């Protein structure tokens, strides 16, 4: 998976690794729902995404806020796993055809694997 630094822009959905920074230095688009916490965090923005339902999956523990139009979106479904290596959290959201920002924090790892894929 390609690795990108926190606060990066990506052209579209897919799989990537986000290089996180200490949460104390992260600049969030909207105030995080869970506060800043300790650990590592950051943001990534997908410049173009088609409208529809998407699944966002994380390889390690972290909190996530899904943001469009400078507002936090509601999560339709989520699953936290401890029995599957490489998958810790998976959630589904309904997105508009607008830039999408994902905000992360509370991670204990510096490299967070992320996939953003359209649900069938």
Domain boundaries defined on the chain? 3-118
**Model pLDDT for residues 20-60, shown as the tens digit of each residue:** 999 988 889 998 887 667 899 999 999 999 999 999 999 99
pLDDT, mean of residues 94-117: 95
Q: Is the pLDDT of residue 84 over 90?
A: no
- Counting every residue, how long is the chain? 120
C-alpha separations of 71 from 21, 68, 97, 115 in Å: 23, 6, 15, 21
Position 52 scores a pLDDT of 96
- What's 3-118's CATH class? mainly beta
**C-alpha to C-alpha distance for 6 and 71, rounded to whole angstroms:** 19
Position 36 scores a pLDDT of 61
Position 38 scores a pLDDT of 82
Position 63 scores a pLDDT of 92
Q: What's the predicted TM-score (pTM) here?
A: 0.92
């Amino acid at each position: 998976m390609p690795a990108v630094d926190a606060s990066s822009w990506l052209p579209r959905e897919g799989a990537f690794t986000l290089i996180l920074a200490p949460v104390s230095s992260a600049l969030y688009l909207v105030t995080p729902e869970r506060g800043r916490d300790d650990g590592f965090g950051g943001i990534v923005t997908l410049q173009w995404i088609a409208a529809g339902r998407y699944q966002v999956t994380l390889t390690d523990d972290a909190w996530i806020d899904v943001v469009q139009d400078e507002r936090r979106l509601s999560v339709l479904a989520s699953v936290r796993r401890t029995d599957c290596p490489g998958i810790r959290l998976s959630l589904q959201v309904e997105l508009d055809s607008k830039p999408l920002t994902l905000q992360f924090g509370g991670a204990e790892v510096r490299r967070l694997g992320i996939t953003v894929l359209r649900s069938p």
